[in-house]
Amino acid sequence: MTFNSISFLVFLPLAFLAAWGRFGWPARKLALLILSYLFYAAWNPPFVILLWISTVIDWFAARRIDRTQSRAVKIGCLLVSLFVNLGMLVYFKYGNFFLGNFQSLGAQLGLEVPSGYSVILPVGISFYTFQTLSYTLDIYLGRARAAKSFLDYALYVTFFPQLVAGPIVRATDFIPQCERPPKFRWRPIGYGAFLVLWGVFQKRVMADGVFAPVVEKVYDTTGSVSFIDAWCGTIAFAGQILCDFSGYSIAAIGVAMMLGFALPDNFRSPYAAIGFSDFWRRWHISLSSWIRDYLYIPLGGNRNGKLRAHFNLMLTMLLAGLWHGAGWTFIVWGCLHGLLLSMERVWVKAVWSRLRHASTRRVLGALGVPVTFLLVCVTWIFFRANDMTSALGICTSAFNPLASNRFSSLVPFGESRNAMLGMGALLSLQQLGRKRTLEDLVSSVPSILICFIMAAMLVATLLWASEDRAFIYFQF
């Protein structure tokens, strides 16, 4: 079930009634929990068992960590949590990757390795695994206390708006919201409905209708692409992945708001970033803050010298790449971001910090936005490409403007024009939102205009003819 499906139009009113019905708060939470399991089971019912395992193991491990004074017991319970959660994640997410590489190695050595075995990836396993791990780690590190109610904790793990594609929510942010019923207020419910419509519009019209046709013609071809196609397809993918993932996150935040819950922002105009540290403060914020708090800082962060800081950055981004997918393209994507972050640290220390003229800083700052965007687009090549051969081929075309086929095109002019116009509009919106939240922007617009915009988005979403595509981040 997805936010842009017909079945969700039936499901959402049921969830709304469960959240605001005229019965006790525990019963309403239980109803939301059951609906969340049904929401997840709509893809593959047996995988609900994985949710139960993760929920129960971390519930008991965290309670034991919280109540015991024995360091050995605390460490043992933490290791059980890590083993179960990371074990499931590694098996289901990386099983095919390891098996494929093992089969390739066996073939090179002349060994017969059984083939035909494949591991099915449960939807959203990375997201709810990171949520349960953060809960146990926070209690082990003394940042939080164990939840008093199993129902509250189970709802935290399973809450359907963010279950399969984030944002990754911390227990310290969500569980306190479960302790007392929210107050029914029309204003946040109305704003939540606007966010749902805005998110679905981004997915249905922008990601699937405007950008995806261009991306698929370029990246799914078996032949070479021209210089124009390489950049057109890559820039279109930058628009597709932002509208697709940001659209889901915004819709998830909106659905949660309609049910009386607050979820954290996951995107803050990332294509208006100046530099890559700024980009990661704006892109997939819940993941970047997670890897910062539970990986980069525990590794030592920047506290142990320059070389160690660069090593920690590279390792952190390598693992971030692996989190996104089991493939060499994702590993390269992560390493490229690690390298760019390290180069930025050197630039800031050696050049930026020594600039004394405000005008020079303003000029370089203005140039920083397009330079950052273009370099991020280069990294997207490896994120989107089907394999390393395809990624390297597109890179070769993108950086070879003198190629003989540089003006040929796989993409019809109308589609490429729409994609570039859509990207121009998207980048303009990103600049408007660089220093302002979406809520601030909406509140500054007259209500009658907001109603008109919502009506236009609804009509476009219903009438736009595009192929129904799954949200990109469901595969993670």
Please give the C-alpha separations between residue 411 and each of 220, 408, 425, in angstroms, as whole numbers. 12, 9, 20
Interatomic CA distance for residues 149 and 92, integer angstroms: 30
- Written as six digits, the tokens of 408 are 């040929």
**Cβ contact 264:169 at 8 Å:** yes
Report domain extents, the chain.
Answer: 6-98+119-181, 188-469
Q: Which residue type occupies 209?
A: G
- pLDDT value at residue 108: 64
> Could you read off the pLDDT of 123-141 as tens digits, one per residue?
888 888 889 999 999 999 9
Average of pLDDT values for 345-353? 78
Please give the C-alpha separations between residue 413 and each of 108, 232, 416, 418, in angstroms, as whole numbers. 45, 11, 5, 9
Average of pLDDT values for 409-431? 90
How many residues in total does the chain contain?
Answer: 476
Answer whether residue 362 shows pLDDT above 80.
no
The mean predicted confidence, pLDDT, of the chain is 86
Residue 106's pLDDT band (cuts 50, 70, 90)? low
Average of pLDDT values for 444-451? 83
Cite the DSSP H helix spans in 292-446.
306-324, 328-350, 358-384, 388-398, 413-432, 438-443
- pLDDT value at residue 464: 79
Q: What is the largest CA-CA distance in the chain?
A: 71
Residue 13 has a CB neighbour count (10 Å cut-off) of 10
Interatomic CA distance for residues 62 and 403, integer angstroms: 59
Residues noted as catalytic: 324
Interatomic CA distance for residues 360 and 366, integer angstroms: 10
**Cβ contact 191:437 at 8 Å:** no
- pLDDT value at residue 472: 78
Interatomic CA distance for residues 456 and 464, integer angstroms: 12
Answer whether residue 471 shows pLDDT above 70.
yes
Interatomic CA distance for residues 99 and 17, integer angstroms: 46
